[in-house]
Amino acid sequence: MIDFFKTLRNKWDDWCGDHEMETEIRRHLNENGYFGRTAKLRAVRLVAVQRPGWIQVFRFEATARVNPGVDDDQDAAAEYHELYGLVRGDQRQKRTTTRVFACETERRSLFRRWSEDLICLRGSQGLI
């Protein structure tokens, strides 16, 4: 019974909740050399917002398989990367910007720039 609740909690924690944002993340991964449709997205959280909510910054983590491309050896073993990402959405202009990084410190650096003058989430779920 406890395993059932742990599984349910993990599914809830990894649930994106926004189909358009999830599609944008997967599209960005496809454009940057990964198989975005099969990427495992985790810890998608709202970490900064500007009142009244038009500008929002989300963080996420992903495990994505590297797309070997047409010219590379197709028989090579599958290679996976752990990625750290940010999504910045401006609902007024219907514009979304997504960035992924191999290292968490790069994500924190971009977050500091993107979250300037925004209300930021603090604590274990935030990036400050």
What kind and span of H or E run contains 103?
A: none
Q: How far is CA 32 from CA 13, 24, 27, 68, 113, in A?
A: 26, 12, 9, 11, 22
pLDDT surpassing 80 at residue 70: no
The percentage of the chain sitting over the pLDDT mark of 70, rounded to a whole number, equals: 82
pLDDT tier at 6, thresholds 50, 70, 90: confident
Residue 61's pLDDT is what?
Answer: 94
Residue 27's pLDDT is what?
Answer: 95
CB neighbour class for 51 (10 Å; exposed up to 12, middle 13-18, buried from 19): exposed
Measured CA to CA, the distance from residue 17 to residue 2 in angstroms comes to 25
pTM attached to this predicted model: 0.81
C-alpha atoms less than 13 angstroms from C-alpha of 34 in its C-beta half-sphere: 24
Residue 2's pLDDT is what?
Answer: 79
pLDDT tier at 65, thresholds 50, 70, 90: very high
The percentage of the chain sitting over the pLDDT mark of 90, rounded to a whole number, equals: 55
- Please enumerate in sequence order all residues whose Cβ is within 8 A of that of 105, keeping only pairs 6 or more positions apart, or say none: none
Residue 43's pLDDT is what?
Answer: 87
pLDDT surpassing 70 at residue 96: yes
Single-letter amino acid code for the residue at 104 = E
Q: What's the mean per-residue pLDDT of the chain?
A: 86
Please state whether the peptide bond connecting residue 52 to the residue before it is cis, i.e. omega within 30 degrees of 0: yes
Single-letter amino acid code for the residue at 93 = Q
Measured CA to CA, the distance from residue 96 to residue 114 in angstroms comes to 13
